[in-house]
Chains A and B, each alone.
Chain A
C-alpha cells in the first residue's frame, strides 16, 4: 500500500507522561482521514509531530516512502501544512503579510509585494473567497480567518493538510462551507487529516477514521461501516457513559435576577452588548449559546463585576448590583466559574487551602491571624464532598489534572451557596468522567434552587442541561428556545445554527434578519 504519510510505532513522552504510545497512523493520497478522541487522548500531539513541531521519542515517520526526521521548516518543504486550533496569526498585520510570513518572494533582497499579492490573489480566486488582502487580519470574522489559514498552507505548497478541530469555532453553515472546500482540495489531489470530536461530521465527511484513547490507537474504521455510537464507545472505552440530562425543565419559580438593557462598549468603542434584556429564575439553568465572541465573555464579566457596564441594570433579588464591587456582589450571592480555570479560576502556585478560601478569608480570621485548623477542616470537607483527587498537603494545585482543578473551582463557588451561579465553558478540556461530574453538580445545584447561567460552545451540552436557551449574536439575542421547545424537540440544531449566524426565523415561518432584542 502506498501511503503518502506513514507513521509507525510513534511514541512521545513528556517527562514521565506518555502522550502517544506506539501509534500507527497512515494517510493515503487523496483521502480524508479523521483522527478522533476525547480531550487529552493525544491527537494534537501526534499531528504536531507530523508537522515537525515535536520530535517523536521513538518510532518512524515516512513521507512519500522516504524516512524523514524533520522540523517545521522541512515539513513545509515536504508539502505538509497545518491549520491549528488557535490560529497562528498576527492580528495587527495585514492578511497578505500573515500569509507570506517567512516565505515572501524576494526581488533584489527586498520583499516583492506585487508578486506576493498576485500569487495569493490567484489562490483566493480559485476558492472564490472575497477577502481583502490589506486589512489587518484581526478584523476578519472567525470563519474568514480560518479560510486564510488554509490559504496559507496552500501558498506554501502543501499537499498534505492537517486541520485541528476546524469546526470548533464555526456555525453549522460555515462548517458546511469548510467541507465543500475540503472536497475541492481532494479533487485537486490533496490529502487531508482532520482532528475532531464532533462525531456527526466525522461520519459524514471522513473516508477513514482512527480513534485514539489514552495515547493509543483504539479503533480504525472505513467510511460507511460505523455508527456514532461505535465511535463513542471506542473513544471512551467499553463502558458507555450516559451523560446526565436535565429531567425537570420549565418549573416557574421566583425571579432571581433581572437584566435590563445591558450595554457594554469595549475600549475601541465597539459595542459588545447591545441593550440585552432577559431574566432568570430560581432553579433554572439558562443556557447562553452562540459562537464565541458574540458577547458571552463580556456578559459574564459584567455580571460578576470584572467589567463595568456602560449602561443598563442588573437586579439581583430586588437589589441593584450594577455598580457594586466584585466582593459585594459575591456577598449577595453571585458565584463565578470562569471559562479559564488556569488564569482566572485558580492561583496555580497556591495550594488548595489558599485557593478555596480566597474571597472569604475574613471568615477564617481571628484578630487578623488566619486560623489554620479551621481552613484545613473546611478544605477537607470540600475534598470529600467533591471527590477531589491528587491532593498533597501544601502542594500547588498546578500538579492536578484538569478535572480535579475544575472540581476545586466548583467546590469553592458552590460552598458559598450562591443564588446566581455563572458558569462559562465548565467542561472544556475535561475527560468524559470529569465532564459528567460537572454536569451532575450543576443539575444538583439546580434542584437546590440555584439559578445557573450556563455559557457553552457545546450545543449538545446546552440542549441537554438547559431549561431554556438564549442564542447571542453580536451582543443581541438572536433567538430564544423555550423549555417547551427543548422538551418536545421542536427546534433543531440547524435552526440554532442559523441563530448563531445572525439569522433568526420567526415561528410563523418568516425569515427575520433584522435582529431586535
Chain B
C-alpha cells in the first residue's frame, strides 16, 4: 500500500471539511451556532458547478460559488439576528432548502437530474510544484494538490493570528462570550457579527468549490454530512483553529483509509461509517471527559480534613 499516496489523499479529502470548519469557527466565535453549514457548503458545490458551466472557467465557478454561499449565509444571518428566529430550526430549514433547491434546479439548468458532470477542462486541477515534489517524504504528500487544498492548510494559521493578535479578533472573541460587555465598550457588535458570517459564507463557498470542482461534477447531497463532521471538530477543539485543522486532517485520513479499503474489497458502507463514528466520538468526548473530571474533583475534595478546606 502506498502510504504517501494515502496521505496525499488525506490532505485532499480533508480540505472541504477544514474549510467548512473555518467558516463555522467564525460564526461560533461570535456566538452564532450555525448548524446549517452542511446546507451552505452544498450551495457552494452547486453554485460553483453552475458558475463554471456558464462562465466556462474555473475561476468563474469558484467566484460564483463563493458569492452564492455568502448571499445565503447573510440571509440566514438576517433571519437569526434581525428576525430573531430560532437558530437551530432556521439552520435545518436552510438545510432542506439547499437540498431541495439544488435538486430542483438541476433539470432546468443542466437538463439532467441526480448528477451532472462538467467537462473536464473545467475541473479544478492539482498543481505540480516541482521543487516541492522533490522534498523527501513530505514532498509527494504536499505536492499535486489544488490551490484550495493549499489554502485549507494555511488558513487556520492566518485565522489564529487574526483572532489572537488583532483588534478585530479580540472584539470577535469578546462578542462571543458576552455581547453586552462588548457593546458597552463601544464595539459595533452587529457589524462584526455580520462580518463574521460573511467569512463563514466565504469559506463554506470555497469548501463547496473544492469538493465539486476537483471532481468536476455535482451530485445531489454531495456534501454527505461534512458540515456536521466539521461542527464536531469545532466542538472537540473548542473552536481553536489549529487544533481544528489537525482533527479535520484526521477525518480526512479516515476517509482516505475507508476509500482505500473499499477498493480492496471490504464493504464500503461499513467503512463509510468510520468517519461519522469518529466525528460522533469527537462531539461527545470533551463533554464526557468534563463530566468525569468534575466528579473526580468533587470526590477528591470530599475527603479533605476540615482545616484543609
Contact = CB atoms under 8 A, between A and B. Distances in A.
Interface of A: 51, 53, 71-73, 75-76, 82, 84, 87-93, 97-98, 100-104, 106, 109-111, 152, 156, 261, 263, 265, 267-269, 271, 274-275, 310-311, 475, 517
Given A76-B186, A82-B184, A110-B165, A93 B298 contact: no
A87 B180 CA distance: 10
A268 to B, nearest CB: 7
A263 B307 CA distance: 12
A101 B174 contact: yes
B184 A111 contact: no
Contacts of B173: 90, 93
Contacts of B115: none
A53 B183 CA distance: 9
B165 to A, nearest CB: 5
Given A101-B171, A268-B297, A274-B309, A72 B183 contact: yes
Q: What is the size category of the interface that chain B forms with chain A?
A: 20 to 34
A452 to B, nearest CB: 28
Contact of B184 (A53, A91, A100, A269): A53
Nearest to B167: A104
A308 B138 CA distance: 55
Given A274-B309, A310-B302, A102 B297 contact: no
Nearest to B305: A275
A275 B309 contact: yes
Contact of B300 (A100, A104, A269, A274): A269
Given A101-B171, A263-B309, A268-B297, A109 B177 contact: no
Contact of A269 (B165, B171, B181, B301): B301
A106 B302 contact: no
Interface string B213-232: 00000000000000000000
A93 B174 CA distance: 8
B232 to A, nearest CB: 23
Contacts of A97: 170, 174
Majority DSSP secondary structure for residues of A touching B: loop
B298 to A, nearest CB: 5
Contacts of B167: 102, 104, 106, 111
Interface string B176-191: 0110111111111000
A89 B181 contact: yes
B174 A90 contact: yes
A111 B171 CA distance: 12
Given A104-B170, A109-B166, A73 B188 contact: yes
Pairs A-B, 9 closest by C-beta atoms: A269-B297, A88-B181, A265-B301, A73-B186, A102-B185, A88-B184, A274-B309, A102-B187, A267-B294
A274 B301 contact: no
A151 to B, nearest CB: 13
Contacts of A267: 294, 297-298
Contacts of A269: 297-298, 300-301
A106 B167 CA distance: 8
Nearest to B161: A110
B170 A101 contact: yes
Nearest to B296: A269
Contacts of B298: 265, 267, 269, 310
Nearest to A273: B309
A271 B297 CA distance: 10
Contacts of A274: 306, 309
A510 B170 CA distance: 50
A111 B170 contact: yes
Nearest to B187: A102
Given A72-B184, A88-B180, A110-B166, A102 B309 contact: no
Contacts of A82: 184
A77 to B, nearest CB: 8
Nearest to A83: B184
Contacts of A75: 186
Given A53-B184, A90-B177, A111-B170, A275 B306 contact: yes
10 contacts: A84-B184, A90-B173, A93-B177, A98-B181, A102-B182, A104-B170, A265-B301, A268-B297, A271-B304, A274-B306
A98 B183 CA distance: 13
Contacts of A271: 301, 304, 309
Given A101-B170, A111-B170, A92 B185 contact: no
A101 to B, nearest CB: 5
